[in-house]
Homo-oligomer: A and B are copies of this chain.
Amino acid sequence: MVELTNNKTRWIPLMRRALQLAALGEVNASPNPLVGAIVLSAEGTLVGEGFHFMPGQPHAEINALDQAGNESKGGTLVVTLEPCCHYGRTPPCTEAIISAGISKVIVALKDPDPRVSGQGIVRLKEAGIEVELGVLEKEAAYQNRAFIFRITTGRPWGILKWAMSLDGRICLPNGASKWISSPKAREWVHCLRSKCDAIIVGGQTVRKDNPLLTSRGLCSPEPFRVVFSEKCEFSKKEIIWNTEVAKTFLAYGPSCKERAENLNFLIGPDLLPLPNSTPSSLLEALALKGCNKVLWECGPSLSSIAIQEGCVQELAVVIAPKLLGGLSANTPLSNFGLTSIDQALSIENIGLDSIDKDLLIRGSLDIQKSDFFS
């Protein structure tokens, strides 16, 4: 964390606005980071605003500079992430900033991408531009936590979501689960999906619940749908194989190779063979496909393994004010093998909301902080 001098605090309201602009890319920017930018003229007037909408489209800085036009000269650029200095699908932002005649750049966060990682700032300073780094750095890092996590670990950020009754049941003994949560809570889940790059379920959830797993059009294209299967036993009846709706992967380990390749009748899904039949292996494959953030919407067994392998960084639990009762398999997680309550995995940064009559509990988890799980 960079120490803020008093002088830097004057940039906080503008950086907050830049973060709001960055958030507008939430649905489409992935695998790129979220970035927002503001240009002030030499006189301090706001003359340009921009954000990064989607890969291949101009970066936030370019959009803000374009809007500012000649007013950029001698002005200040406020940007949530260090400007890039490499040629990707678009030319480096550093060069555009220099040509526009910007004299000062305020940056929230150094870009963790190894192709940038401080070099953008060096380039700007070499060109005689004053640079201040670290304004709302923590907030900017939180906003781009999925991108940063993928860049630094090689795996997408994982969110595990489940809906349960107040007595901790995700379905009835006969498997019925439609619907535990309210229509409004399900709309919230669609919205959450739209901000993720892939939705992951196990084969059993497909067979049992026959889910559609889309955002219902809240984003286009829809997030990837990923069926992670240990058995590869499916039928045409499962609506997920209609891949006109969303790109769909059938992921499996080596032991399932033959069975997966024999599912000829499923013309829709792309096969995604994995070196191991593990959540980690799946996530590494999805990171290579550009996924920053995945949503686990799976049953107890896969959820538990995903947690144990450190594939879940965030929880989103919808609790419906209902009592269902039931048997063992109808709970959100299966057995971790704990023998003492001290070993329990802690959920931090609890956030609490209500959606219609349901409650939404969000929190973060980090198995590295646990003696038992890590």
Contact = CB atoms under 8 A, between A and B. Distances in A.
Interface of A: 164-169, 172-174, 176-180, 304, 307, 315, 317, 319-328, 331-341, 344-348, 350, 352, 354, 357, 359, 361, 363, 365
Task: Pick from A167, A304, A339, A352 the residue with the most CB of B within 10 Å.
Answer: A167
Contact of A361 (B166, B180, B317): B166
Contacts of A328: 327-328
A-side interface mostly: loop
B164 A168 contact: yes
A334 B326 CA distance: 6
How many copies, total?
2
A367 to B, nearest CB: 10
Contact of A321 (B319, B341, B346): B346
A324 B352 contact: no
A212 to B, nearest CB: 18
A324 B347 contact: no
A325 B339 contact: no
18 contacts: A165-B344, A166-B315, A167-B332, A167-B333, A168-B332, A172-B338, A176-B339, A176-B341, A304-B325, A322-B341, A322-B346, A323-B344, A323-B345, A323-B365, A324-B338, A325-B333, A325-B335, A326-B331
Task: Pick from A172, A174, A327 the residue with the most CB of B within 10 Å.
Answer: A172
A354 B363 CA distance: 14
Contacts of A324: 333, 336, 338, 341, 344
Given A315-B166, A359-B352, A338 B325 contact: yes
